[in-house]
Structure 1
Amino acid sequence: MTAAAATTTLSPLPSRYWADLSTRDFAQMKASGQAEQTVAVLPVAAIEQHGPHLPLSVDATLLQGVIDAALPQMPADLPVLFLPPQNVGLSEIGECVARAGIKKLLLFNGHGGQVSVMDIVARELRTRCDLIVYSASWFSLPLPDAVAGQFSAQEHRFGIHAGEIETSMMLHLAPDTVHMGHARDFRSTSQDRSEQYAILGNGKSAKLGWQMQDYHPAGAVGNAAAATADKGQAVVEAAAGQLVALLQELAQLPLQTLRPETE
C-alpha cells in the first residue's frame, strides 16, 4: 500500500492541536501506526517591531491567521497536528515529536529573519532524529495570479516588512491594532540599490547582512498606506489554501524519502 493510500484509511485525530491530546492518544497512535503517517506542524514566528503603524505581534498574528483559515479547508482524514506556536526562544520540540513516533514535521514560519535558521534546524533534525522535515513560510507559498496581482511587482519585491501586504492582512485579522494614520509609503534603500548596482542590487547574486533600519529608519518598507482589509483577506485565504495543499502533499510523501546511507 502506498503512503497516499494509507492516509485514506486513518481515523480522524481527536483534535488538530497537539496540546489537546493525552498520553493515551499518543500511545494509541503509535501502536496503530497512525503516528508515523501524521504530519506535525510547528508554527514559528517572532515578536518584533513593525514600524509606527503596526504592533509587535504581526508575525505571530499573520501566521496564526493563515493557520486558522486553513483548518476548515482540511479534509477530516488529513493526519495533521499543530504544535503550540514558538514566538520567542528555542526548544527541543523536534526531538519530542520524534519520540512520539511522528515521522514528518513541517516548520511553518512567519518571520523573514528565520528562513535560513529553519533550513539549518531542518537538516539537524533529519540527522539527529531521522525525521522528514520541511520548512516553509506563509509568504513563500504560491499565490493565485488574481491575488498576487492586487499588489505591484515592486511591492512584492521590496515591501517585505510592514508594507502593503502585511498591513492589509492585519487590517483583515486585527484591525483594532492597526494605526493607518501613521502608515505611509516606506521606500526601501534596497530599491535604490537595485537602480544603481547591477550585481549588488539584483536581489539574487549577493545578500546584505541587514537590520530593518538599514532599509528604512522607520523599521518598515513598502506602501503601507495602500493597504486594505479586502486585499488582506484575499491573501490570508489564498495562503491558507496553499498550506492545506502543502500538508496533503507532505502526508502523501513516502517515508522512504529518507535513506539510511549512501549506496
Structure 2
Amino acid sequence: MVSPTRFWSELSTRDFALLDSQRAIAVLPVAATEQHGPHLPLSVDTDLANGVVAAALPHIAADLPVLFLPTQAVGLSPEHQAYPGTLTLSSHTVISLWTEIGESVARAGVKKLVLLNAHGGQVGVMDIVARDLRARLGLLVYSVNWFNLPLGPEVEGQFSADEHRFGIHAGQIETAMMLALKPAQVQMAQARNFASASQQRAQQFPILGNGRSAKLGWQMQDYNPAGAVGNAAAATAEQGRAVLDAAGRALAALLAEIDRLPPDTLASRS
C-alpha cells in the first residue's frame, strides 16, 4: 500500500494493516524548547527539525512508506536551564519517553525507526535508546542528527571552518535557517558575532581543545553568557534556504539507503 500520508498521526488504525511492514520506516523527530540567545525564539530546534522534514518530503520516493511521528518539542536541555524559558526533561524521562514511543512503533508492526535529532545536547541519550530498542525488540534503529547530514561543498562552503566547529548554538547556520523559516521571529538587531570560549581553549590546549579527545560537561554560559555562539550577524535567509534544501535531500537519500539495506543487517547468534 502507498500510504495516504507521510504523517503517522494522520493514518487511521486500519491503515496499519495495509502497510508493507518490511519496508515501512518510522521517523521520530526529537527537538527541544530552549533559549537561543537574545535574537532567536525558544522554538529553534523544533522549527529546524520540522523544516528539514518538510524539505525532505518532495524527495522521498512515492512508493517508500516513510511515516513521520509527532515531533518531540521538549527534550534534554539542562545545559540551558540558567536561562528563563528553557524547558527540560530529565535524562531518565527522555529515555523512557522515546523508548516507549519506539515500543509503540514496534507494536504497530513497523520494524525500522529513525531518531531524527535537532538538538546537540541529547545525542548521547538518543544512542542509548537506539541500542536498547535493538537489543530488546529487534528493531532496526538509526540515530541521525540533521546537522551531521552531508550538505555538499557548495552549501558547507558558505560558512567558515570556525563557524562549523564553534558556531554550534544560535550561530550563523541556525540563524540563517530561522531567517528562511520564520523571519518574523528573528531579531537581527540583537544578533552579533558571539565568540565561544572553546575557540580560545582550542588554541591553548591541544588535547583538551581538539574537539575529539575530551568532552566538557558544560553549561551554555561556559561558552558565552549571551547563550549563543557563532557569527549570527552574518546569517542570511538565502543561506538558510540552501541548508534546508540540502539537509532535506540528504535525509531523503538516507531513508532510501535504509530501504536498500540487506535483510541480514541485524544478525542473530541463534
Q: Tell me the TM-score normalized by structure 1.
A: 0.92
Q: Which residue of 2 aligns with 1:93?
A: 101
Identity %: 65
Q: CA deviation at 1:36?
A: 2.4
Q: Which residue of 2 aligns with 1:14?
A: 4
Q: CA deviation at 1:22?
A: 1.2
Q: Hey, what's the Cα distance between the residues in 1 that align with 2:192 and 2:165?
A: 17
Q: Which residue of 2 aligns with 1:26?
A: 16
Over aligned residue pairs, what C-alpha RMSD do you find? 1.0
Q: CA deviation at 1:138?
A: 0.7
What do the CA deviations read for 1:93-124 (whole angstroms, capped 9, x no partner)?
10011111111100000000011111111001
Q: Hey, what's the Cα distance between the residues in 2 that align with 1:20 and 1:173?
A: 24
1:140 aligns with 2:130: no
Q: Hey, what's the Cα distance between the residues in 2 that align with 1:214 and 1:97?
A: 39
Q: Give runs of aligned pairs for residues 88-237 of structure 1, distance below 5 A.
A: 88=74, 90=94, 91=97, 92-237=100-245
Which of 246, 263, 268 is the matching residue for 1:238? 246
1:67 aligns with 2:75: no
Question: Which residue identity lines up with residue 11 of structure 2 in the other structure?
Answer: L
Q: 1:95 to 1:255 in 2, by over 3 A?
A: farther
Question: Which residue identity lines up with residue 104 of structure 1 in the other structure?
Answer: K
Q: Hey, what's the Cα distance between the residues in 1 that align with 2:139 and 2:211?
A: 32
3-state SS of the aligned residue for 1:77? coil
Q: Tell me the TM-score normalized by structure 2.
A: 0.90
- Aligned length, in residue pairs: 248
Question: Which residue identity lines up with residue 200 of structure 1 in the other structure?
Answer: L
Q: CA deviation at 1:254?
A: 2.5
What do the CA deviations read for 1:127-184 (whole angstroms, capped 9, x no partner)?
1211000000110001110000000000000000000000000000000000000000
- Contact 1:103-1:255 at 8 Å conserved across structures: no
3-state SS of the aligned residue for 1:35? coil
Q: Hey, what's the Cα distance between the residues in 1 that align with 2:232 and 2:204?
A: 24
Q: Hey, what's the Cα distance between the residues in 2 that align with 1:60 and 1:261?
A: 40
Q: Hey, what's the Cα distance between the residues in 2 that align with 1:149 and 1:28?
A: 44
Q: Which residue of 1 aligns with 2:23?
A: 37
Q: Which residue of 1 aligns with 2:36?
A: 50
Question: Which residue identity lines up with residue 12 of structure 2 in the other structure?
Answer: S
Q: Hey, what's the Cα distance between the residues in 2 that align with 1:152 and 1:214?
A: 23
Q: Which has the higher mean CA deviation after the structures are superposed, 101-110 or 69-78?
A: 69-78
Q: Hey, what's the Cα distance between the residues in 1 that align with 2:260 and 2:68?
A: 18
Where do 5+ consecutive residues of structure 2 fail to align? 75-88
3-state SS of the aligned residue for 1:41? strand
Where do 5+ consecutive residues of structure 1 fail to align? 1-10
Question: Which residue identity lines up with residue 49 of structure 2 in the other structure?
Answer: L
- Contact 2:23-2:64 at 8 Å conserved across structures: no
